[in-house]
Amino acid sequence: MATPVGHYLLGFSVASLLARDDQTTRGGLWLAILACAPDFDVVPGILVGDLARFHHGVSHSLAAAALVSAGVLAGFRFFGRETSWRLFLTCFLLYASHIVLDFFTLDPGDRSGVPLLWPLSETYQSPWALLPNVQHSRGPIFSTHNFLLMVRELVVFAPLVALVQLAKSTARPWSRAAAWVYGCWFFLAVCLSAYSVAQSN
């Protein structure tokens, strides 16, 4: 699993990309929290003294993404807010972004991966990893390892956020050049992170 930093930054990138205007982009700051929602499955584990006991369960599946997205729409309707298929798609992609990122995260203690296609398949894992795993079962959650992982996620995903923001405002003369800079930064950061994980495995 990645940390909330990586999940939120990737989620905000998705929300910004799908936003129709500045107002919906600001709303994306809140909706992007959905990108962290699957990890709420650690709460029952905390209550029983084993953080990882229920982690990477059915909450980390596309079926759960669809169910949660439908629940968000139902909540919007209950409070009289406007709903649409675009909102459902945004919520689904935000939630799914978490699962996809965990799919590309190396966890030496769990080679089964995440149940991406549950109930059709209970386990799924990428043949290569972008990020190392959060340390939670083999050491303290607040550790140097996890801090450095958050820094790595910031380096990898911050340029993606900036790239999406710039791509939405290409009318400014400097935007295209800056977008190229952030795009190259993101590409190189992804490649270097994946190479680093492969070398340490």
pLDDT digits (tens, 9 = 90+) for 137-176: 555 567 787 899 999 999 999 999 998 888 777 556 667 7
User: 159: how many CB neighbours lie within 10 A of its CB?
Assistant: 23
Do the beta carbons of residue 32 and residue 12 sit within 8 Å?
A: yes
The tally of domains found in the chain comes to: 1
Residue 174 has phi, psi (to 5 degrees) of -90, -5
Comparing CA positions, the residue from 22, 48, 39 lying closest to residue 134 is 39
Higher pLDDT, 98 or 45: 98
* Tokens linked to 173: 């003369």
Between 76-90, 135-149, 175-189, the lowest mean confidence (pLDDT) is in 135-149
Per the structure, the complete domain to which residue 168 belongs is given by: 4-200
pTM of the model: 0.85
Judged against a pLDDT cut of 60, whether residue 128 lies above it is answered with yes
Judged against a pLDDT cut of 70, whether residue 75 lies above it is answered with yes
Tell me what pLDDT residue 46 has.
78
Judged against a pLDDT cut of 60, whether residue 197 lies above it is answered with yes
